[in-house]
Structure 1
Amino acid sequence: MSSEREKMAAGDWYSCLDSALGNLRMKARVAVHQHNTLPPDERGAIAPMLLALLQSAGGSAFIEAPFHCSYGFNISLGERVYLNAGCTILDSAFVDIGTGSMLGPGVHIYCADHHRDVTLRGQGIERARPVTIGKDVWIGGGAIILPGITIGEGAIVGAGAVVTKSVAAGDIVVGNPARPTGRQ
């Protein structure tokens, strides 16, 4: 029998109400709280507890406060990644943000895909789908990236866009739902 964390990692349906997952989210909340409340000169680029929680972070990665994540251990940041104030990463699945990528203020990345059946959804049944952001991507403020999305290298996501489909390398997408502009 697989644990709920193993099911989550495998992309299978699992219960997010599981107590072991709840404990992991609490650990992340504590690390995020430290990051968001330390004075900037003490926090540095990423507060120590949050940095220790992340799967990986390039030495020049920088996360502005406030920041929020669900677990932290599913987040990988390349070199020179910049997350502006108010970014939220609900990392029930792996989130890989490539070298040189910049996320504007209030960007949200969601990995949880909640069950469509109302009864199962009410029981906390969901599945986790990874998000991959390539190198040198620019995501404008307030954009939302939905579960299972890949954004290709050098792409631009306009401010406020809701990305419901993967974005090809070099594309510029805007709107809700995000669509290519035809310009590069």
Structure 2
Amino acid sequence: MNQRERMMEELPYKAWLDGLSEDRMENKLKIYDYNLLRPDQLEKMDKMIKDIIGRTGENIFIEQPFHCDYGKNIEVGNNFFANYNCTILDVGKVIIGENVQFAPNVSIYTAGHPIHPKSRNSGYEYGIKVTIGNNVWIGGSAVINPGVNIGDNVVIGSGSVVTKDIPDNVIAVGNPCRVIREITDADRKYYFKDREFDVDDY
């Protein structure tokens, strides 16, 4: 098993061997070009981001600047939006469902290093898959750590550091991120805290 295969199997691997450095450089050049596009070059943006991301649905948009390691290890469903400064370290797979929104500065880290200094200094690292369900909103400057699964219909509060799985239909916030309550039908009439919609088409 070579280092690329070890990486994708979530085993310890060395990131500079077996063509991995070259893969990252190839993606960095694509990202560089994407981030330098004019904001009115929407068709070109759409084409380029679909070349960077491994698998995409329809109607996806990622604001510049955007950064990722490989790109091809990311999958996103229909109606995906990521605001400015999204960073995805896709050493492991990152699977994102449909109707997902990221606020600015959201970071997803599948990559990690051993805790013990001697093990860490050996050069081995790892990547553990992150999954995000459907209809999820992740607040600004949230960090999602390796191995986390976020369920459907979840809201992650701004500045949260998500270190453990989050179940469906909840609001979760904090460092470390914790569930604070369920989302219920009673929430539907509000657009912000106790402010009710003044329109009927929501």
**TM-score range, shorter-chain basis?**
over 0.9
Matched, 1:177 2:179: no
Higher CA-based Rg = 2
**Where does structure 1 lack aligned partners over 5 or more consecutive residues?**
none
* Aligned 8 A contact 2:169 2:182 in 1: no
CA distance in 1, matches of 2:86, 2:115: 27
- Give runs of aligned pairs for residues 37-56 of structure 1, distance below 5 A: 37-44=36-43, 46=45, 48-56=47-55
- For the residue of structure 2 that corresponds to 1:40, the secondary structure is coil
Q: Which moved more, 1:8-17 or 1:34-43?
A: 34-43
- For the residue of structure 2 that corresponds to 1:126, the secondary structure is strand
CA distance in 2, matches of 1:183, 1:8: 36
Q: Provide the residue aligned with 1:161 in structure 2.
A: 160
CA distance in 1, matches of 2:118, 2:45: 39
Q: Provide the residue aligned with 1:121 in structure 2.
A: 120
Shift of 1:48: 3.4
Q: Provide the residue aligned with 1:3 in structure 2.
A: 2
Query: Which letter maps to 1:121?
Result: R
* Aligned 8 A contact 1:110 1:147 in 2: yes
Q: Provide the residue aligned with 1:20 in structure 2.
A: 19
* Aligned 8 A contact 1:17 1:123 in 2: no
CA distance in 2, matches of 1:74, 1:45: 21
Q: Provide the residue aligned with 2:193 in structure 1.
A: none
Shift of 1:34: 1.1
CA change 1:79–1:45 in 2 (3 A) is farther
* Aligned 8 A contact 1:163 1:177 in 2: yes
CA change 1:172–1:42 in 2 (3 A) is same
CA distance in 1, matches of 2:137, 2:123: 33
Matched, 1:64 2:63: yes
* Aligned 8 A contact 1:67 1:86 in 2: yes
- For the residue of structure 1 that corresponds to 2:112, the secondary structure is strand
* Aligned 8 A contact 1:28 1:50 in 2: no
In the alignment of these two chains, the number of paired residues is 183
* Aligned 8 A contact 2:46 2:61 in 1: no
Shift of 1:27: 1.0
Shift of 1:44: 3.8
CA distance in 1, matches of 2:21, 2:48: 18
Q: Provide the residue aligned with 1:95 in structure 2.
A: 94
Q: Provide the residue aligned with 2:147 in structure 1.
A: 148
Query: Which letter maps to 1:90?
Result: L
CA distance in 1, matches of 2:152, 2:124: 33
CA offset digits 1:39-83 (Å, max 9, x no partner): 122254845344213211112011100000010010011110101
Q: Percent identity?
A: 38
**Where does structure 2 lack aligned partners over 5 or more consecutive residues?**
184-202
Query: RMSD value over aligned CA atoms?
Result: 1.5
CA offset digits 1:130-175 (Å, max 9, x no partner): 0000000000000000000000000010000000101001111111
* Aligned 8 A contact 1:45 1:62 in 2: no
Shift of 1:106: 0.2
CA change 1:27–1:18 in 2 (3 A) is same
CA distance in 1, matches of 2:105, 2:168: 23
